[in-house]
Structures are given as structure tokens and as C-alpha cells.
Amino acid sequence: MVPTGDYDSFANAYSAENESNLFNAYYERPEMLRLAGDVRGRRILDAGCGSGPLSAELRARGAVVTGFDVSAAMVGLARQRLGEDADLRVADLGAPLPFADAEFDDVVASLVLHYLEDWSGPLAELRRVLKPGGRLIISVIHPTVYAIAYPKADYFALTKYSEDYVMDGRTVWLTYWHRPLHAIADAFAAAGFRITTISEPPPSPDTPAELLPPDMNSGSFICFLFFVLESAQDPSCRS
């Protein structure tokens, strides 16, 4: 068994799993890219970049990408993918970030925030490094997933929970923080962001049929929840 949250110890297995699976390769990344739209020439920060698959796609579409992750092993894999000259850092989203104010046009935070108990500091930092009017594009575990998986739990409580996965023949544990939808929206507003888009997408049209759940009649399933947020022009504005 691998210790909870020790990404350095299973970075290679985690990265390999995410390259071609349903939830990352054919669901989450395609939707993040769709929401980002035309990124040519835009300076984008990939917060919690992992091994860099989203950074690579954004760069291929013309963005100028900077990435960071708390796991040095993940940043090493991202550097292998993106090249030695890539702007990649080891940094913790729960601490002050090593970037200037208003440095980026967009920030993408792909499946990152649900690992954090406190969102106020991280959201404040992401807003600080965004230009006024800049976008924060986020994906998180859909809060109703917790209610479905743990029907006896209190949906409305901020709750820490861990789940085990088998990667490369080893059991690894990932720890998450569930928060209800209203708490998510309240955190965004308190940090000075305005929600412009909420998305609950179907998988990508090119998803191999063998990866889809056999009982998927509607073409969609509840998995992740996506937001596009806009940084308020006026720092005193809250919406």
C-alpha cells in the first residue's frame, strides 16, 4: 500500500493511467480544452499540472504555458513531456505562489481543488496572478458523486474522505474534501470570481465504445463538474 496522497511514490503509474482512460483522456481534458477555447497567444497557468498532458495540449494550440505541481516527481514527468526549457515549478497551491500579480490571462485548475480543505487562500492566490477579467477554468469531482457513493453521509458538511485505487499493481489512496454545491459557489464569490459557465458534459464523441459504461443510455454520466470563472475587474466587487 502506498501512503495517502504521496504522489511522488506513484507518479509514473498515475500518469500512465491518465493517458488513455475514460475519465481523464476522453472526458475531463477534452472539456477543459473546449471551455478554454481559442488560446493562441494567451499566457496560461496550469495549476496542479501533474505530468503535463493538459499543458501540452494548450501549448500545441498556441498558448504560452507555465505549470506547477506540489509533486516533484510529477513536475519531472511534465518536463520530460514538454522539454527542458518548459516553465515548470514545484509549488504548493496551499501556499503563496511564485508568480507576479496579474501575470496570466487564464488559469486552469484540473481536478485539483477537491484535494484541499481550505479554498480561500488558493482562490485568492489564483485571482492575484490573473489579469483583471481573466478566466479561471476549473474541474472538480461533482458533489453529487459523494452523495451517491455515501448515501448515509451528510451531503451538506465539508467532509474528508479517502478512496483506494489499484495502479500498476499497487493499492494507492487518494484523499479528497467533499463540499456541497452551494459551498463551492460561495467560495468562488468570496474570492472575487463570477461564474460564467457551469458544465456537466458527456464524454468526447471519439471515446472508444469499450471504455463507456454498458448501461449508459443517455450519453452522459455524473462524474466531474466544470466551471469557467471570471476575475472581477474591481477588487472590491463580489458576485
pLDDT in tens, 167-201: 877 888 899 999 999 999 999 999 999 999 999 99
Pairwise CA distance, residues 117 & 94, whole Å? 10
Q: Residue 176 — φ and ψ, nearest 5°?
A: -125, 165
List, in sequence order, every beta strand (DSSP E) within the chain: 43-47, 64-69, 87-90, 104-110, 130-141, 159-167, 170-178, 193-199, 224-231
> Mean pLDDT across the chain, nearest whole number?
91
- Burial grade of 220 (CB within 10 A; 0-12, 13-18, 19 or more): exposed
Is the CB of residue 163 less than 8 Å from the CB of residue 143? no
- Residue 51 predicted with pLDDT over 80: yes
Which whole number is the average pLDDT over 211-228? Answer: 82
